[in-house]
Amino acid sequence: NAGVTQTPKFRVLKTGQSMTLLCAQDMNHEYMYWYRQDPGMGLRLIHYSVGEGTTAKGEVPDGYNVSRLKKQNFLLGLESAAPSQTSVYFCASSYSNGNTIYFGEGSWLTVV
Amino acid sequence: AQKITQTQPGMFVQEKEAVTLDCTYDTSDPSYGLFWYKQPSSGEMIFLIYQGSYDQQNATEGRYSLNFQKARKSANLVISASQLGDSAMYFCAMRERETSYDKVIFGPGTSLSVIP
């Protein structure tokens, strides 16, 4: 029972490099979310998706792009990584009016 | 403006005592939901409890209960009979509809330490 799976778990990037974080869920959830977590700031919503092919901006979308080509996958892209994007990234999914949000284990990203 | 406020950055509680973690929120959506999550030092996000805005009764899940005061826009988490394993970060979150879609946002969290 996989739930929400994030890859990679850890990554070190150089400033200016690009990368993609992949989130996959096997619960047939409509909604998927990408958050970043920084010390003292809780989880901040980057982008989210309400269904295949539909995405929306969250609280801190700048510097990130997303795509949801398949219902089970939600990709988070960093086109030109900056040290300010060093963070822990969490993916989550839920039903549209669900009373539970399921989280992945997190991805630790360091930009040097 | 902060949509979700958790005014207690850090809390201490004696083992076996009850503790209340505060959460206030701000929304104009009449149909919203409130969540509490626990994040231990290992980093995973653990769902604790959910309250819908139209739910008549306060939610309870084992030792967790949610003190929902709708008029005050308050959704405090009460943990009864604290255990050492309750030491963790606790996050309040809200699902609300903005423009066309629901989104879920989190508060800054409260760090709880349980003292033996």
* Residue among A41, A42, A100 minimizing CB distance to B47: A100
* Residue among B9, B105, B108 minimizing CB distance to A59: B105
Please compute, for residue B94, the number of CA atoms within 13 A of its CA located in the half-sphere on the CB side: 26
Q: Which chain B residue has its CA at the smallest distance from A45's CA? A: B105
**Token digits of residue B33:** 């939901």
Q: Which residues of chain B have pLDDT under 50?
A: none
* The predicted structure's pLDDT at residue B98: 79
What is the per-residue pLDDT across A51-97, written as a single tens digit (0 to 9) for each?
A: 999 999 999 999 999 999 999 999 999 999 999 999 999 999 999 87
Q: Is the pLDDT of residue A1 over 80?
A: no
pLDDT band at A46 (very low <50, low <70, confident <90, very high): very high
* The predicted structure's pLDDT at residue B1: 64
Residue A100 C-alpha, separation from nearest chain B C-alpha, in angstroms: 7
Contact B32, B23 (CB under 8 A): no
